[in-house]
Amino acid sequence: MSHVRDHESVKIIERCQVSPPQNSIPTTSIPISFLDIPWLYISPIQRIFFHEFPFPTQTFLQTLIPKLKHSLSITLQHFIPFASNLVYPPKPHFPYFLYQDGDSIPFTIAESTTNFDHLISDSPKHVTDLHPFVPTLFSPHTSEDGTRYIPLMAIQVTILPNNGFALCVSFHHVVGDGRAFHHFMKFWSSLCSKNGDSTSLEASVPLPFHNRDIIQDPKGLLKLKMMENMWNSPTPSKEFAVVYTDMVRATFVLNPDQIERLKKWVIAKCSNSDHFKTLHISTFVVTSSLIWVCFVRSEEIIGYDVPNDDELYHLIFLADCRNHHEVSIPSTYFGNCLGYRTVTMKRSELVGNNAIVEAVRAIECQVRDVQSDPFKGLDTMTPEHEGRVVSGHGVVIASSPKQGVYETNFGSGKPKMTEVVHIDSSKSIAFSDCRDNEGGVEVGLALGRIQMNNFTSIMKKYLSDITNLNH
């Protein structure tokens, strides 16, 4: 074991590799589907889970760490792509996932003196407070013929003595979407809580479905066209620079009662319009409308340049298309199965008196559109897509309340908090289910401290006004 102090609040206890059980998997090659291609150059996903475990470090090392490693090894046997490399050969060959016996993922064990209650609180904390808990993915390497081999996952478990632990996973989106990742996490945590006994596990957490040939190219040449877009676009050499000075992250909880009141308020506002009467006012539609409007309005900071009212703002959301009636992809499919849509509105509409209702109309229209044609527009996605969102007036809704992130129990109870770490560098807003309110929504976002204060005040005012109008 090595004892190296990497950060003032984190001490590395051990760095090791975890692989599937030896000789349990033959050499396996899995092709990418056209639904994986848009995510080839996206920056790594980083999700952290904070769990309570009120024991000293030595107890943790002797009890839970061996279970975590053993259950992870068995889990990787079933979720092969995470233990694989993405093999990216030169044009005209397509990338694919390759597992060879002995392939493994880096697993880091650390210890931190950071205050546990501070880490799991909803209130604003500096974004860099979470960075020491994030594992680093191994760098890609390139063979003589120009083929790149890209490792896909890394895990770090950080012990917070006598309080709990932080388990953070970094992975490349190209290997799978949020639904696939949380399937992996629930399988691993369930196996760990059963001390590695998988005999009764499948009834509660089914095995993943790996056959990517089930993804049918609706236009025949879509996969080739999308890869041509990638080949013809400049490969990002590194992640864009982010300045974290005075940037904070916070979690906002909308409980079921607030969501229902918001729906009723929107329906009442729309009652005199025949067009609005046909709208499906879902939890996602009203929540994303409220958050987007508050986000845009919070930019009005004294001394800052505020865009003019005709400037266009964009909200990008992703939709899980498993079990869609046109594609018939099973819920256990492991890979990417996402449609996406961009909602575009003028700033004047998002700061006007009827802003939330106008946002509801625009977002609901795109939700219906993705339901009718889930994969429309995928062939236009390129590596520059994320860059345009980050640099312009765009924001992405990441994750979903339907993923059940609080169902991840390693034997010490459900998480006390879970967060999407990379929202501080990707201009994203994270939605998840609620740890304490079934049917509620947790919203995580990262902003400058002044803008965060503005956002908080604006959102509280909206929720207060809507509550009063419903009485």
In the chain, where the domains are located:
4-231, 247-470
CA end-to-end span of the chain: 62
Which segment of 186-195, 305-314, 364-373, 427-436 scores lowest on mean pLDDT?
Answer: 305-314
Distance of CA 62 to the CA centre of its chain: 31
The two three-digit tokens of residue 460, written as one number? 């509280």
Q: What is the pLDDT of residue 196?
A: 63
What tens digit of pLDDT does each residue of 274-311 get? 666 677 899 999 999 999 999 999 988 765 667 788 89
Residue 30 has pLDDT above 60, yes or no: yes
Q: What is the pLDDT of residue 201?
A: 63
For residues 170 and 180, the answer to whether their CB atoms sit within 8 Å is: no
Fold exhibited by the domain 4-231: Chloramphenicol Acetyltransferase (3.30.559)
User: pLDDT band at residue 35, thresholds of 50, 70 and 90?
Assistant: very high
Q: Taking the model in full, what pTM does it have?
A: 0.93
Q: What is the pLDDT of residue 275?
A: 62
- Kindly report each contact of residues 193-201 with a partner whose C-beta sits within 8 Å and lies 24 or more positions away, as own/partner: 193/409, 193/410, 193/411, 195/67, 196/67, 196/70, 196/71, 196/74, 198/74
**Residue 162 to residues 63, 118, 188, 275, 367: CA-CA distances in angstroms?**
14, 15, 24, 57, 46
For residues 145 and 90, the answer to whether their CB atoms sit within 8 Å is: yes
Helix 283-297 vs helix 256-270: angle between axes, to the nearest 10 degrees? 90
Q: What is the pLDDT of residue 428?
A: 92
Residue 66 has pLDDT above 80, yes or no: yes
User: pLDDT band at residue 6, thresholds of 50, 70 and 90?
Assistant: very low
Q: What is the pLDDT of residue 72?
A: 97
What tens digit of pLDDT does each residue of 165-211 get? 999 999 999 999 999 999 999 999 999 998 766 666 655 799 999 99
Residue 253 has pLDDT above 90, yes or no: yes
Q: What is the pLDDT of residue 2?
A: 36
For strands 148-151 and 85-88, give the pairing: antiparallel
Residue 459 has pLDDT above 90, yes or no: yes
> Residue 335: CA atoms inside 13 Å, Cβ hemisphere, count?
26
Residue 388 has pLDDT above 90, yes or no: no
User: pLDDT band at residue 3, thresholds of 50, 70 and 90?
Assistant: very low
Q: Do domains 4-231 and 247-470 have the same CATH topology?
A: yes
Residue 391 has pLDDT above 70, yes or no: no
Distance of CA 182 to the CA centre of its chain: 10
**Mean pLDDT, rounded, of the chain:** 89
What percentage of the chain reaches a pLDDT higher than 70?
A: 89
CATH of 247-470, one of 3.30.559.10, 3.30.420.40, 2.60.15.10, 2.40.160.100: 3.30.559.10
Q: What is the pLDDT of residue 86?
A: 98
Closest CA to 462 of 315, 353, 312, 365: 353
> Residue 109: CA atoms inside 13 Å, Cβ hemisphere, count?
19
What tens digit of pLDDT does each residue of 121-163 get? 999 999 999 999 999 999 999 999 999 999 999 999 999 999 9
What is the arithmetic mean of pLDDT over 253-271? Answer: 91
